[in-house]
Amino acid sequence: MKSIIDIFSPLKSDLITNNAVLYKTALLKRDILSFLIIQNKGTIAELSQATKTSIPKINETINELITEGLVIDHGKILNGVGRKPNIYGLNPNSAYFLSVEVNRHNINIAILNFVEEIVHIERDIPFYLQNTPACFESLCHHIDTFIEKHANDRHKIVSIGLNLTGRVDHVSGNSYSYFNFHSTPLREVLTQRFGVPGYVENDTRAMAFGEYAKGVVENEKNILFINLDDGIGMGIIINGALYSGKSGFAGEFGHMPFLNNDIICHCGKKGCLETEASGVALTLQMKEALLKGISSSITEKVNSIDDIKLQHIISAAKNDDILAIELLSKAGEKIGKGIAILLNLFNPELVILGGKIATTESIILLPILSSINKFSLNLVNTDTSFKISTLGEDAGLIGSSLLMRNRLLDLS
Ligand SMILES: [Zn+2]
């Protein structure tokens, strides 16, 4: 079977003029797949109409796509009268994507098939993110181990996508905040290390795209996705497309300097939203409160105060722990004030709250909404809906895989 990369290589070729026929065929195949991605299935007549191509040409190209293993024939439509056409759809197993999400304290790795179903996944692999070559090697080792475990599907993996916190430029393939010590862009390092095309993306942008294409989004096209986790990030979708800014630095909501404090943020500046409202800040605040003698059920769950992580605070809040709820509520007020500024700037149709803190649902949502009501113009905030992510912790892995598929097929 031909690799999907070979089938679509004429689309990327610099020698398009010398390969006009190959280019046109690859373009038509791309259009057919893109129709099947959006519509899920289609008949020859529908594909002919959608691509403005003759029925015989569509027939011929569909047969090629079937031989190449990208499309499957589902047989004839069962209902209706008259001559029944065959229905065609994507072959879920024609290509696999390896998605890796690196968080500050764990990593998640998954293999997804061509229709974005998770085939294999390992969540919460313990990891401590540092910007060192040893840490990068350890990450690669985890990926190797995961691939070896699922070696049967290895030859079908067509690309590897890495979601990283901080400033990431998917176009140049550079990550500026982590693993930025190689002489070539991180994307190239991944490509060479794993032998398939590599992609890098900001973690929150990948989550935002996952929610947009497969999650909570219905018909909205202008969306802000707020990632409330150890850090605070934002994914921006404008007219249905992910917005990254000139060099991939857009969306650093957590570093908006509107707090009047002297706490130094990990970015080096003072007064960032993250210094008081992020998961890292909440963890510090919880430790300080316990050291002052304020009680919380959390102390029954850990051996020492030093062991407290964001997840403990979230679990405690869900179990009605007053201190955890109070800390989340104060963080929510500050996040809400920040979102009020965003509403005035972007006037989005939808704001999605994702990340670990968003799993506390009303505990975080209510103080956020109350603060938005207080700080934004009523006309503006009633124009926007607020939803909690439905893909939860899988949003980034699904988003990364979708972005890889789109970039492979040159779809926007
Ligand atoms: Zn900062």
Local structure of 47: helix, strand or coil: helix
pLDDT of residue 22: 79
Alpha-carbon distances of 84 from 2, 41, 55, 76, 79, rounded to whole Å? 31, 15, 16, 6, 8
Q: Which of 383, 330, 393, 333 is nearest to 358 (CA)?
A: 393
What is the C-alpha to C-alpha distance for residues 42 and 85, in angstroms, rounded to an integer? 10
User: Ligand 1 centroid to 255 CA: how many Å?
Assistant: 4
Cα of 403 vs centre of ligand 1, distance in Å, is 27
What's 220-389's CATH class?
A: alpha beta
Residue type, 86: N
Residue 6: per-residue pLDDT: 72
Q: Distance from the CA of 274 to the center of ligand 1, in angstroms?
A: 6
State the distance from the centre of ligand 1 to the C-alpha of 232, rounded, in angstroms.
10
Q: In this predicted structure, what is the pLDDT of residue 16?
A: 56
Say how many Å lie between the CA of residue 273 and the centre of ligand 1. 7
Nearest-Å Rg of the Cα atoms of the chain is 24
Average pLDDT of the chain is 91
Ligand 1 center to 52 CA (angstroms): 51
Show Cβ contacts of residue 56 under 8 Å, excluding neighbours closer than 6 positions: none
List C-alpha distances in Å: 40 to 23, 115, 411: 25, 9, 16
Rounded to the nearest angstrom, the distance between the alpha carbon of 359 and the centre of ligand 1 is 24
Give the pLDDT of the chain (412 residues) as one tens digit per residue: 566 777 777 666 655 556 777 788 888 998 999 899 888 899 999 999 999 999 999 999 999 999 988 999 998 877 666 778 889 999 999 889 999 999 988 999 999 999 889 999 999 999 999 999 999 999 999 999 999 998 777 788 999 999 999 899 999 999 999 999 999 999 999 999 999 999 999 999 999 999 998 999 999 999 999 999 999 999 999 999 999 999 989 999 999 998 999 999 988 899 999 999 999 999 999 999 999 999 999 999 999 999 999 999 999 999 999 999 999 999 999 999 999 999 999 999 999 999 999 999 999 999 999 999 999 887 777 889 999 999 988 999 999 999 998 888 777 5
Q: How far is the CA of 350 from the centre of ligand 1 (A)?
A: 25
What integer pLDDT is reported at residue 283 of this predicted model? 97
Cβ neighbors of 17 (< 8 A, separation 6 or more) are: none
Do 96-208+396-408 and 220-389 fold alike per CATH? yes
Domain ranges of the chain: 4-90, 96-208+396-408, 220-389
For 372-404, give one letter per residue: b (16+ CB within 10 A) or e.
Answer: beebbeeebbeebeebbbebebbbbbbbbbbbb
11 closest CA partner among 34, 35, 38, 41: 34
Question: 202 CA to middle of ligand 1, Å?
Answer: 16
Give 181 Cα–ligand 1 centroid separation in angstroms.
22
Judge contact between 49 and 68, C-beta under 8 A: no
Amino acid identity of 366?
L
Predicted pLDDT of residue 293: 94
**What distance in angstroms lies between residue 165's CA and the mean position of ligand 1's atoms?**
13
Find out if CATH 3.30.420.40 is the number for domain 96-208+396-408: yes
**pLDDT for position 141:** 97
At the topology level, CATH places domain 4-90 in Arc Repressor Mutant, subunit A (1.10.10)
Distance (Å) from CA 265 to ligand 1 centroid: 5
Q: Which residues surround ligand 1, an ion (CB under 5 A)?
A: 255, 265, 267, 269, 272
